[in-house]
Amino acid sequence: MTELWLFLHVAAVVVWIGGMVFAHFCLRPAALATLQPPQRLPLMSAALGRFFTLVAVSLLLLWGSGLAMFAAMASSGGRPPMSWNLMAAIAAVMTLVFAVIALRLHPRMRGAVAAAEWPKAAATLDAIRRLVVLNLVLGFLTIAVATLGRLAN
């Protein structure tokens, strides 16, 4: 069962981190280069809305699988490695950052797009972008802890 939990955990990471990389380094620059605000901002809002649904599912899988692996370790009498605790702490911060983006900023952006308030929508998208960069850095740090942290355990 542990292998299944680990697979779900890694798959959820791939969706979340990979999606942020794609949105930030591929979709955003292409949209900026080819579309004006009345086309670009609705596209970005719609794409982010779909992505945030995937991230929400990924978060359920990440937390569920992570907690299941912690529980399996505890039930077998073992102690989780320190890297697991660090991953969980970083994941908690990332989850909070995502919550701010998805529950506060994205609805604000959707409202500005619906009202054709392009400067407000663009400013909100920029705030989302900055928090996505933060989560990208934290996500890669978590991957480093997960892979390189084994060396310290």
CA angle 95, 87, 130 (to 5 degrees): 45
User: Are residues 123 and 145 in contact, defined by beta-carbon separation less than 8 angstroms?
Assistant: no
Helices of type H across 23-36: 28-34
How many CA atoms does the CB half-sphere of 153 hold within 13 Å? 14
User: Are residues 146 and 27 in contact, defined by beta-carbon separation less than 8 angstroms?
Assistant: no
Tens digits of residue pLDDT in 28-53: 999 999 999 999 999 999 999 999 99
The domain in which residue 95 lies consists of 2-151
Tens digits of residue pLDDT in 99-112: 999 999 999 999 99
Question: pTM score, two decimals?
Answer: 0.93
d(CA 77, CA 111): 51
How many residues can be counted in the chain? 153
Q: How many domains, the chain?
A: 1
